[in-house]
Every structure is written in structure tokens, then in C-alpha cells.
């Protein structure tokens, strides 16, 4: 690659597009690198954003801390609530539910996860649920929350992503990021190198740069439109291809978790914020038409509808290269996996922090590009497999959609994970995977995959000794939950958004 950065006093980074992806990128680059680079973000107020990424996972706490963000201030600005996990309803079967919580369940041994000791307990007559050993899960279902010493409560946020973008924009501009209002008319390529040379805006304006970040969403104007990087379609594994989102007024205090409610052609979400609730329906258009999906969504929401329905069509999949030449795709331009496990904002965060670690000092290194792409693809494939698990491991056969999901072929690596757990109770986390052992255990058992055997170490404990061990863990959880304030009371004291925020 004939990079144009060699000899530049300061790297010129141009971010194409705003929204959550653009302003997370801008705030992180501006906040961490300051005067070492020049950052320009181009966006048009006339172009809307998807803006439905309201539910997050715990790594966002690290991102905000890296940027020096005060948590209470951020939560007030984004009308955020706390999130301790996701309640999955009707996934294993109609009427069944389970909870995928943050944190850990019970107490692991270095040789075996807690599930092995719980399974041994079940075999000798203990009837307590696996759920009884998880603080976050029990607190969530009790509607309670508080920060605990030593970060013992693992949590994330339910937030207004549009307000989050606006909050980050203020920080980015304060850190020296320049925002340019305008619509991108075309992308100018360097005639010799093939790299992107500049963005051409309406009004015959030209924004030149050295490194370009594509945050143009599904349009992927730079990475796809200008550089023609291909896209791998994963719809054969994740068949939903449509969503409709709508906001409603709150009718009750917000719970500290997201709900994912399966229906006969997909699922619905409910995400409570401080002043409203986010609602949506995700579905496969082969099994449910848009009019029926909208009717189903509006017929199930609670409270006054505050917004016009936002209809979104998408193709689940990934850009074959997230970094190509002098362009990095961040957010939807690099790929999309439905919001079932709230990973959209997380994937933005991973890409941005990875880009900062690999930011070129001069000429772009092809080794950096290759490593970035390998790591990004590994992240997305891992998340893809975890999402497929929710659809594949089901006992539902009540609709053509669920019969398709139950019978579909799955990646060999996921098949191995499922069969390994079914046969031995074991889950092995690879490298820096996002979802830890407890996540896989909760979802697999919640979806009906129960181990036939478990680690022999658990059998070394005499039934009475094992019973005392399990009882002590349950008592610790119950005592902690009993001492927690309600979620609503804690928000009111810690980060309540004023009436102006609700306007």
C-alpha cells in the first residue's frame, strides 16, 4: 500500500458519519490522543441514524472510564437505568423463561466451573435452582440494585443511544474534534495508490485525510461503496432480517434488565429507561410480513406510543475486511448481528479501542491491518455463534420459523461446544472471547441443554459437605439481595434525570 501518511506532522483522521459509532470513535480518539492527531467528523442532520441500540453489556463501563466520564452525569444525560442481564421468555418453549445474567454464578474451582458442583448436588437430592447462586440474577428479578464494594455487582446500562451520541459529541468537540455538517456526495480515491484521498461534500467541499473511519451505517459508503470490500451473509444461521422499533411512556418503575420475548417468527424487546421504554420486534420476513409485525408490536406495548415506528431492514453478516487500505469500518458499516445479546455498541467499542492500539505512526502497516481484521473477525464469529445458540437450541416446533431454526445446520465449532457441554458439562473459553463460561452455561441450560455428566472432582465432596457449601453460597446471595435498595430508589438518589431531560 502506498500510504500518504509518511511525513505528516499530525495524522489526519476523517470520520464519515455521526450517530453512536461516529461519536464514540471521535470521543475516544480526541480524548486519548488529543493534539497528536487532527480529527474531523462529517455528518448530515438530514440523514437519520438507526438509533435503537439502547441496551449494553458491562465492557461499556471500561470505555466510559477510559474517557474519564462521570457515571452519574452520563446516566442523567442519557436517561439511563442499570442492567443486570437479559430475561429470555418463550425461547426454550412457550411459557418457559430463563435469565442470562452478568457476573458469575456460585464459586468456581480452578479445575471445574460451579455448574459441576451444582449438578452433583442435584444428583444427591438438592432441588435448588442454578439461579439461586447468582447475585446479579436474584437482584434483577427482585428489582434491586446498588454499587457494591470491590465491584461485586456486575452491570451495564439501558440508555438512549441518541442522547449518548450527543453526550459524546460534546466531549469530542471539547477535546478538539471538528464537526463538519454536510452530505457526502462522493468519495475521492487516489489515482495511484487506490487509497481514499478525500470526501466530497455537497456544495463542492472537499475533506482530505490520511485515515478514514466509515461510520455511515448500513450504507457503508466508504468501505463498501468506494473500496468495494465484500460482505459475507450470515442469514442462513441468523434468519431474522427485519425490525420495527417504537418508544412508549413508562407505566411502572424500570426493572434492571432487558426482556427478550420470543414469538412465532422471531422475538420482541423491552428496554426500560428512566422516562420511557424502548420496544421493538425482530422477525424473519419469510414468516411474518411487515404489517402483521407492526400490528403485533403495537398490540403488545404498554403506555402511550411516543414515536412513529422505525422500520429497519437488514442483512445479518460481516464485511470481509474491517480495515482495507486507509479505511476502517466501525459500527454497522462493518457488519451487523441482531441486538439479541446487546452487542452492537460493544462491537463499536472493540473496534475503536483496537484502532487506537494499532493507530499508525506514519505509513500504515499491512501487519497491523491483517491483525486488526483477524481480531475483529474472531470477535464477530464468537458473538455469531452465541446468537445462533439461542435459535438452534430450542424445543419449539410450533411454527415454521422455529422448525427451521431447530433443523438448520450450524458451524462445526458451535456444534462442538454444545456436544461438549451436553456430554461433560464443560465450557472452554478461547482467548479473549466476549462471553465467559457462565454465559454459555446459563443460555445452554436455559434453552434445555443439560449435561449428562460432570467433573469427578465434585463427587469428592460428601453430600453433607456439598450441601453446606451450596447453602452458604445461597445465603450469601440472599443476604446481599435483601440489603439492596430498589432499582428505582437507587436511580432517584444517584442519577435521576430531571424533568428537562424528559422533554
Q: Are strands 37-43 and 81-83 parallel, antiparallel or unpaired?
A: unpaired
* DSSP three-state, residue 397: coil
| Separation CA 337–CA 285 (nearest Å) | 16
Decide if 91 contacts 99 (C-beta within 8 A).
no
Decide if 142 contacts 256 (C-beta within 8 A).
no
Report the candidate in 152, 135, 156 with the shortest Cα–Cα distance to residue 63.
Answer: 156
Identify the active-site residue in 83, 92, 138, 144: 83
Report the candidate in 434, 401, 13, 34 with the shortest Cα–Cα distance to residue 240.
Answer: 401
| Separation CA 156–CA 470 (nearest Å) | 28
Give me 31's grid cell: 480524548
Q: How far, in Å, are 176, 320, 416, 434 from residue 102 at the CA level?
A: 36, 31, 24, 12
Count of CB atoms situated within 10 Å of the CB of 203: 8
* DSSP three-state, residue 491: helix
Q: What torsion do the CA atoms of 64, 142, 262, 90 make, to the nearest 10 degrees?
A: 150
What are residue 158's DSSP bridge partners? 55, 81
| Separation CA 403–CA 396 (nearest Å) | 7
How many CA atoms lie within 13 Å of 122's alpha carbon, on the beta-carbon side? 14
| Separation CA 38–CA 469 (nearest Å) | 57
Largest Cα separation within the chain, whole Å, is 79
| Separation CA 486–CA 241 (nearest Å) | 37
178 sits in which H/E element: strand 178-181
162 sits in which H/E element: helix 161-174
DSSP state of 57: -
Decide if 477 contacts 130 (C-beta within 8 A).
no
| Separation CA 163–CA 149 (nearest Å) | 29
Report the candidate in 177, 119, 130 with the shortest Cα–Cα distance to residue 453.
Answer: 119
- Catalytic annotation on 144? no
The total number of residues written for the chain in this structure: 503
* DSSP three-state, residue 325: coil
| Separation CA 349–CA 57 (nearest Å) | 11
**Active-site amino acid positions:** 83
Amino acid at each position: 500500500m502506498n500510504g500518504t501518511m509518511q511525513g505528516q506532522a499530525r495524522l489526519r483522521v476523517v470520520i464519515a458519519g455521526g450517530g453512536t459509532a461516529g461519536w464514540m470513535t471521535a470521543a475516544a480518539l480526541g480524548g486519548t490522543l488529543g493534539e497528536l492527531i487532527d480529527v474531523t467528523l462529517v455528518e448530515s442532520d438530514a440523514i437519520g441514524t438507526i438509533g435503537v441500540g439502547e441496551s449494553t453489556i458491562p465492557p461499556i463501563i471500561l470505555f466510559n472510564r477510559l474517557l474519564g466520564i462521570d457515571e452519574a452525569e452520563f446516566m442523567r444525560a442519557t436517561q439511563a437505568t442499570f442492567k443486570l442481564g437479559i430475561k429470555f421468555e418463550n425461547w426454550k418453549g412457550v411459557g418457559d423463561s430463563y435469565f442470562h445474567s452478568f457476573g458469575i454464578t456460585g464459586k468456581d474451582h480452578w479445575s471445574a466451573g460451579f455448574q459441576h458442583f451444582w449438578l452433583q448436588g442435584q444428583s444427591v437430592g438438592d432441588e435448588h435452582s442454578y439461579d439461586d447462586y447468582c447475585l446479579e440474577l436474584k437482584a434483577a428479578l427482585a428489582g434491586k440494585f446498588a454499587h457494591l464494594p470491590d465491584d461485586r455487582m456486575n452491570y451495564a446500562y439501558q440508555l438512549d443511544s441518541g442522547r449518548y451520541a450527543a453526550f459524546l459529541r460534546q466531549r469530542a468537540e471539547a477535546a478538539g474534534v471538528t464537526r463538519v455538517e454536510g452530505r457526502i456526495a462522493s468519495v475521492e480515491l487516489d489515482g495511484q495508490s487506490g487509497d481514499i484521498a478525500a470526501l466530497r461534500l455537497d456544495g463542492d467541499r472537499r475533506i482530505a485525510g490520511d485515515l478514514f473511519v466509515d461510520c455511515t451505517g448500513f450504507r457503508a459508503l466508504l468501505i463498501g461503496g468506494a473500496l468495494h470490500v465484500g460482505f459475507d451473509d450470515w442469514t442462513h444461521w441468523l434468519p431474522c432480517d427485519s425490525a420495527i422499533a417504537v418508544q412508549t411512556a413508562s407505566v411502572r418503575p424500570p426493572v434492571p434488565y432487558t426482556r427478550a420475548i420470543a414469538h412465532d417468527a422471531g422475538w420482541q424487546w423491552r428496554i426500560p429507561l428512566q422516562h420511557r421504554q424502548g420496544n421493538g420486534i425482530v422477525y424473519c420476513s419469510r414468516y411474518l410480513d411487515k404489517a402483521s409485525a407492526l400490528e403485533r408490536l403495537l398490540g403488545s406495548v404498554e403506555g402511550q406510543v411516543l414515536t412513529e415506528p422505525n422500520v429497519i431492514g437488514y442483512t445479518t453478516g460481516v464485511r470481509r475486511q474491517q480495515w482495507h487500505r486507509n479505511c476502517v469500518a466501525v459500527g454497522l458499516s462493518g457488519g451487523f448481528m441482531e441486538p439479541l445479546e446487546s452487542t452492537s455498541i460493544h462491537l463499536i467499542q472493540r473496534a475503536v479501542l483496537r484502532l487506537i492500539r494499532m493507530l499508525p505512526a506514519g505509513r500504515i502497516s499491512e501487519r497491523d491491518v491483517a491483525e486488526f481484521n483477524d481480531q475483529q473477525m474472531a470477535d464477530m464469529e464468537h458473538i455469531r455463534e452465541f446468537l445462533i445458540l439461542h435459535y438452534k437450541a430450542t424445543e419449539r416446533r410450533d411454527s415454521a420459523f422455529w422448525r427451521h431454526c431447530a433443523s438448520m445446520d450450524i458451524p462445526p465449532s458451535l456444534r462442538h461446544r454444545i456436544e461438549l457441554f451436553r456430554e461433560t458439562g464443560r465450557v472452554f473459553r478461547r482467548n479473549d472471547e466476549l462471553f465467559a463460561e457462565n454465559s454459555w452455561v446459563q443460555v445452554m441450560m436455559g434453552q434445555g441443554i443439560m449435561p449428562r455428566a460432570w467433573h469427578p472432582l465434585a463427587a469428592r465432596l460428601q453430600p453433607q459437605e456439598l450441601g453446606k457449601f451450596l447453602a452458604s453460597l445461597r445465603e450469601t446471595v440472599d443476604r446481599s439481595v435483601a440489603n439492596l435498595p430498589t432499582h428505582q430508589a437507587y436511580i432517584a438518589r444517584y442519577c435521576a434525570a430531571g424533568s428537562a431531560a424528559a422533554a
